[in-house]
Structure 1
Amino acid sequence: MAGHSKWANIKRQKAVVDAKKSKTFTQLSRAIIVAARSGIPDPAGNFQLRTAIDKAKAAGIPNDNIERAIAKGAGTFSDSANFEAIRYEGYGPGGVAILIEALTDNRNRTAADLRVAFSKNGGNLGETGCVSWMFAQKGVCVVEGVVDEEQILEASLEGGAESYEMTEDEIAEVFTDVANLENLNQTLKDKGLQVTDAELRWIPSNSVEVTDPEQARSLFKLIDTLEGLDDVQNVTSNFEMAENLMALSIV
């Protein structure tokens, strides 16, 4: 998971900057709408909604916008848009597998936008199932300020985690079964650990090594283009590459 976790860390760093963009506001608002629609519209009893609201607040979305998004999801706010969650799959430069999670009110528009993004950046949008078999969905808790690895180990075991990984200085990612994410999140917090994110993430079971700088640049451009689309919520891939090539993603 090392390469994937490294990429996740880079994406988090970039998200600090992107949080000021309206595109991120759109993404987070849609995530709240879908979470409220898929469960009860009360964050106290809906973990997915609670985490979506936490992310929205961290990005600086005003409370009025958050309340409006909850109302849209609950059906108590007049809005003709009906968003649905769809997963798309394809291949990037070098045969890298790519999963795209989208929230859209127009499937045809989203598919067309994705097809253009792939074709212009050395990849191709595939059929459903073409790459998803290479990934497993897991719950992930990101913990910061970890100074005692024994503490994270013990708390992870008590919370029913499958594994954990120290990804940077004092930052750990703890992996668990999807159904156990809420329990793990609460257990880690009860143990006094600083959980900064709790999310569902697709983890690749195999990886494609990217060694060519031009391929790396094309891959990062494709991912950036996909993530720049309003309908796209998350992009996951199965590449591995050296640190010096990974740095090209920040340039």
Structure 2
Amino acid sequence: MILKQRQHDILTKVVCFGVKHTAHVPGKRRGMLVNIMLRAFRLSRRASAVFQCPVLHPCRALHSSPVSWAGHNKWSKVKDIKIPKDAARARVIAKYTMMIRIAVREGGPNPELNVGLAQILEQCRNKNLPKTTIEGALKGAKSKPGVQYLYEATGPGGCKILIEVLTDNNMRSLNEVKRIMTKNGGALREGARRNFDRKGVVAASRDGISSEKALELAIEAGAEDVQEMEDEEDRPILQFICDMTSMKAVRSALESLGVHTLSSSLEFVSHTPSLLTQTQLETASTLLEALHDCPDVVRVWDNIQAQT
């Protein structure tokens, strides 16, 4: 009953906000409002909540943009894999070392001239990575830059996966990723990329921020969506999704609103989810763990969503 009332209150607040401000909200923010309303309606319908509001009809003035699907942090909780903290820490260090190499390759070793590198170094500092590790990664990136590739794949239940690698031997990396996919119910296959959009993602601390407040902050900052996620150390964070060209402005706006931002980067965000059963989720979890353990793999994106 409490859940139903909370969802009712959220929907009432969002609808009335949308009606009041529609005429003064830019197109991108109108799309954000519609996405929020659709999400609230889904929550209410799943809980069989009854909602009546006499101001629903004026909301037709809103013009919807494609619905942004939420992140997959909730489905990942089906995993029963306990990684020792030392191993998890080593994995984080390895991944950021690879990301530094990519950033140096794309924009040079000077963070004052390379915005992407500066952002990654900021993330390294936020995660308390050793200074010697960062310096070693920068030195190695200049002497052995490697080549970046993006592999497209299909996983359990038909889910779509994008795999970013950095390697000095593409054939070796390709064969290793193929082996991992085949062993865990997947396959490299073209076409997965069209299930994702390239977006700016601003990560922020979630300390003291409720779901309702996060939505309000996203609207005020000009973001398209906001997702509740967890970082590598299982700490709750918020990810504000925005257009690539407005990432810097959105981050500045969030900081002016009192939000503690952690990083900003370009990511692949899925717009078409693949709904997986519990069994498929467990298989997909094992697959993604194996991919992350591959030395040449830098980042992995998927469009997985748990069936409800």
Q: What is the TM-score when the length of structure 2 is the normalising length? A: 0.65
Write the deviation string for residues 121-175 of structure 1: whole angstroms up to 9, x where unpaired: 1111123xx2101111111122222537787556545544223345699853211
8 A contact 1:96–1:239 mirrored in 2: yes
Task: Report percent identity of matched pairs.
Answer: 29
Write the letter of the residue equivalent to 1:162. Answer: E
Write the deviation string for residues 97-138 of structure 1: whole angstroms up to 9, x where unpaired: 1111111121011101000001111111123xx210111111
Q: In 1, distance between residues paired with 2:208 and 2:247? A: 19
8 A contact 1:146–1:172 mirrored in 2: no
Q: What is the root-mean-square deviation in Å for CA atoms of aligned residues?
A: 3.2
1:26 aligns with 2:88: no
Secondary structure at 2:269 match in 1: strand
CA apart distance, 1:196: 2.6
Write the deviation string for residues 167-211 of structure 1: whole angstroms up to 9, x where unpaired: 699853211112322332233223321113323221112112112
8 A contact 1:208–1:240 mirrored in 2: yes
Aligned partner of 2:257 in structure 1 is: 191
1:123 aligns with 2:203: no
Aligned partner of 1:91 in structure 2 is: 154
Secondary structure at 1:188 match in 2: helix
List gaps (5 residues or longer) in structure 1: 244-251
Aligned partner of 1:134 in structure 2 is: 195
8 A contact 2:154–2:186 mirrored in 1: yes
Write the deviation string for residues 34-85 of structure 1: whole angstroms up to 9, x where unpaired: 2123224333443311221123234443212212323444x4xxx3x33222
Q: In 1, distance between residues paired with 2:276 and 2:182? A: 19
Higher Rg of the two aligned structures: 2
Label 1:6 to 1:68 Cα distance change in 2 as closer, same or farther (>3 A): same
Secondary structure at 2:241 match in 1: strand
Aligned partner of 2:275 in structure 1 is: 209
8 A contact 1:27–1:231 mirrored in 2: no
Secondary structure at 2:161 match in 1: strand
- Runs (4+) of structure 1 exceeding 6 A deviation are 8-11, 148-151
Q: In 2, distance between residues paired with 1:95 and 1:136? A: 18
List gaps (5 residues or longer) in structure 2: 1-68
Which one of the candidate residues 196, 199, 221 is aligned to 2:286? 221
Secondary structure at 1:183 match in 2: helix
Q: How many residues align?
A: 233
Write the letter of the residue equivalent to 1:184. Answer: V
